[in-house]
């Protein structure tokens, strides 16, 4: 009986191995059928490979004619079995239907010259910085990029207009560690806002015109269009990641000027209140009320009502939201929210908003 059991277990294991092998073969076959015959000769096709039309791939790395020649030489050797086949390109989806090539830009150039119509790629979920293994690597890479970052932002302002706002210091370590732990599972290579800047425009028309122009640049590697797809509480901007010559990735945001002013002076305090109290069950009602206020402030910054406030009234509003950001108990937070809601009813809201009277 024991022998029969071992035989059955051995047979089942063999069947599973055979099934896995067949599935892998079918996967390889389907990729090969989709891939351009020119490229199919030269690349390996791991299971997570995707096939992307070559016109949708945008280089991010600088390379020389000599490097392209070397790729072509290796391709010829691979074809006759004297060199290992090439791995798929590593890319990130930019957010506009195209892909930024993070590893393999010189291969892309060589394959274009050979006339291939598509290429195999591995798609990463978010921009990253090559060679960054820990926080020390992250700071070394970005500190070395400071002057290039500042020069690039000045150049963009000269070319695209707008009012430039630059964070004058590198992101602080405490915030980097917190963000990496919460958002990136401990992977420091994904922290792409060590340097950050904003370009401000007076109206939606000029903002969107600049967006159409800047997204054509190859150094723009990721686009998050939160203007046409705002967050639930009404926050909107256009968030871009740009890659520098040493591989550091920085953040640039395009803003509506009034919207930016309202966020920096007032709305940011509400965000800090919700972020710091989000995990407290007894604060959920206050958080919902705060988010309702946040949406009203976002809307008023776009419809002209925030701009119409005099400076004294804006300072009163900023003081109220700052006071809210300091609250940690439901009772005290509710009292401040009562004041804030009354202020909004008196100065910014229409009857369409449902704030408790």
Name the phi and psi angles at 167, rounded to 5.
-70, 120
Band of pLDDT at residue 8, cut at 50, 70 and 90: very low
DSSP 43: B
Q: Is 238 exposed, middle or buried (0-12, 13-18, 19+ CB in 10 A)?
A: buried
The model's pLDDT over 205-250, given as tens digits with 9 standing for 90+, comes to 999 999 999 999 999 999 999 999 998 878 899 999 999 999 999 9
CA distances from 155 to 151, 152, 250 (A): 6, 5, 15
Residue 6 has pLDDT above 90, yes or no: no
Give bridge partners of residue 57 from the DSSP assignment: 99
pLDDT for the residue 350: 64
pLDDT for the residue 24: 39
Q: What is the mean pLDDT of residues 120-140?
A: 95
Same fold: 26-124 with 135-256: no
Tell me the pairing of strands 249-256 and 99-103: unpaired
Which class would CATH give 26-124? Answer: alpha beta
Q: Which tokens is 149 given?
A: 């970052």
Q: Which tokens is 141 given?
A: 């890479």
Question: Cα–Cα distance between 220 and 332 in angstroms, integer?
Answer: 45
Question: Cα–Cα distance between 35 and 119 in angstroms, integer?
Answer: 7
The model's pLDDT over 311-341, given as tens digits with 9 standing for 90+, comes to 999 999 999 999 999 999 999 999 999 999 9
Instruction: Order the strands of the 50-53 sheet from edge to edge.
Output: 50-53, 118-124, 89-93, 99-103, 57-59
**What CATH number matches the domain at 135-256, 3.30.460.10, 3.10.180.10, 3.30.390.30, 3.40.630.10?**
3.30.460.10
Residues 6+ apart with CB under 8 A from 89: 57, 101, 103, 104, 107, 108, 119, 120, 121, 122
Give bridge partners of residue 256 from the DSSP assignment: 201
More confident residue, 82 or 151: 151
Query: Nearest-5° angle of CA 11, CA 17, CA 18?
Result: 90
pLDDT for the residue 75: 77
Residue 11 has pLDDT above 70, yes or no: no
pLDDT for the residue 82: 66
pLDDT for the residue 41: 82
Question: Cα–Cα distance between 14 and 20 in angstroms, integer?
Answer: 10
The model's pLDDT over 239-294, given as tens digits with 9 standing for 90+, comes to 999 999 999 999 999 999 999 999 999 999 999 999 899 999 999 999 999 999 99
Q: Which residue from 16, 27, 28, 108 is spatially nearest to 62, judged by alpha carbons? A: 108
Residues found in the chain: 357
Tell me the pairing of strands 196-201 and 249-256: parallel
The model's pLDDT over 22-34, given as tens digits with 9 standing for 90+, comes to 443 444 444 444 8
pTM: 0.79
Q: Where are the domains of the chain?
A: 26-124, 135-256, 259-347
Residue 164 has pLDDT above 50, yes or no: yes
């Amino acid at each position: 009986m024991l022998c029969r059991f071992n035989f059955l277990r051995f047979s089942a294991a063999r069947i599973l191995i055979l099934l896995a092998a067949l599935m892998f073969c079918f996967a390889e076959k389907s990729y090969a059928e989709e891939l351009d015959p020119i490229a199919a000769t030269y690349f390996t096709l791991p299971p997570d490979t995707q096939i992307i039309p070559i016109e949708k791939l945008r280089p991010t790395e600088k390379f020389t004619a000599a490097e392209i020649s070397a790729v072509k030489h290796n391709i010829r050797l691979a074809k006759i079995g004297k060199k290992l086949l090439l791995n798929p390109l590593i890319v990130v989806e930019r957010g506009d239907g195209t892909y930024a090539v993070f590893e393999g830009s010189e291969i892309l150039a060589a394959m274009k010259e050979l006339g291939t119509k598509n290429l195999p790629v591995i798609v990463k979920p978010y921009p990253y910085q090559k060679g960054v293994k820990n926080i020390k690597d992250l700071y070394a890479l970005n500190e070395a990029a400071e002057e290039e970052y500042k020069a690039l932002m000045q150049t963009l302002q000269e070319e695209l207009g707008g009012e430039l706002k630059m964070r004058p210091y590198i992101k602080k370590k405490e915030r980097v560690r917190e963000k990496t732990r919460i958002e990136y599972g401990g992977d420091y290579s994904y922290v792409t806002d060590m340097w950050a800047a904003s370009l401000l425009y007076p109206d939606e028309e000029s903002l969107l015109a600049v967006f159409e122009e800047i997204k054509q640049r190859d150094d723009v590697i990721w686009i998050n269009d939160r203007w046409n797809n705002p967050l639930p509480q009404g926050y909107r901007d256009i968030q871009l990641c740009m890659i520098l010559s040493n591989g550091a990735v920085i953040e640039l945001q395009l803003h509506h000027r009034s919207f930016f002013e309202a966020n920096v002076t007032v709305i940011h305090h509400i965000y800090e209140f919700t972020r710091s109290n989000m995990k407290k069950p007894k604060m959920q009602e206050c958080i919902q009320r705060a988010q309702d206020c946040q949406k009203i402030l976002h809307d008023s910054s776009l419809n002209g009502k925030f701009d119409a406030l005099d400076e004294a009234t804006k300072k009163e509003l900023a003081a109220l939201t700052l006071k809210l950001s300091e609250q940690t108990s439901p009772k005290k937070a509710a009292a401040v929210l009562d004041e804030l809601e009354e202020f909004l009813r008196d100065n910014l809201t229409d009857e369409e908003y449902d704030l408790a009277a």
